[in-house]
Amino acid sequence: MKFISLVTIATLFVAAFALPSPEGGKSDLEARVENSGTAAAVDLTSLDLEARDNDGAAPELSSLGEGDSELEARQNGGGNSRNCGSRNDARPFFRRYKSSVDDHMYSLNRDEGSASGYNFEGVSSFIFPTRRPGTVPFYRLYNSRNSDHLYTTSASERDSAMRQGYNSQGIAGHIYPGNRCGGIPFYRMHNPRGNHHFYTTSRSEARSAISRGYNNEGIAGYVYGS
């Protein structure tokens, strides 16, 4: 009887201290972690950066390195989309300059401007003579009072310029409004001293113009490089 009593007492003693684990069978460590309110951190910085990169804003010239536009063009389809024009249909967009009036002129006609004292400076880019999928008109205007050629894809800017003394010279050609078809930026600058505009696909040339007093007016559109 003494032996049975000791066994019974031992059984009762063990049962009294065999408490169930907290949180419905979870271990004490699991319960503390779950109740601590700790969660994995979300990196909002990268999401914000992605949003800014896709807002359509023109990049600052100073933040871009040489060669980025060519890489950008390859990453954006290289003109292979069915909704884009064929690179083979693009034609040279010649550039001329008249130093006496500090005016640059761009034309699909290589000889245009030669009789008026504009010196040939080569091919600025390649654009379409007629409309192609994904392109928009590149309007050309001229102000004889300050000898400035203005090019824009904006019909409203064209109309505004005409109210300020510019004469419409029609459509210089057709270019892309964005870079999805593989075009590269056609940078636009403006010199407030003589109210002259300048366009180039070269970042280094654009930065040089800015250092000489031109203001960066962003990207006029997207064209093909030579």
DSSP letters spanning 173-215: EEEBSSSTTS-EEEEEEEETTTTEEEEES-HHHHHHHHHTTPE
| DSSP conformation class of 108 | S
Q: What is the pLDDT of residues 95-148, one digit of tens each?
A: 999 999 999 999 999 999 999 999 999 999 999 999 999 999 999 999 999 999
Rounded to an integer, the average pLDDT of 192-206 is 96
Residue 209's CB is within 10 A of a number of other CB atoms, namely 21
Mean pLDDT across the chain: 76
Cα–Cα distance measured from residue 185 to residue 177, given in angstroms and rounded to the nearest whole number: 10
Mean pLDDT of 142-170: 98
Residue range 11-20, pLDDT digits in tens? 444 444 444 4
Q: Among candidates 177, 139, 136, 187, which has minimal Cα distance to 161?
A: 139
What's phi and psi for 110, nearest 5 deg?
A: -60, -35
Would strands 119-127 and 103-107 be described as parallel, antiparallel, or unpaired? unpaired
The confidence score (pLDDT) of residue 226 equals: 76
What is the pLDDT at residue 77? 42
Flag whether pLDDT at 64 surpasses 70. no
> Looking at the predicted structure, is the pLDDT value of residue 47 above 80?
no
Give CA angle at 44 (39, 45), nearest 5°: 135
pTM of the model: 0.68
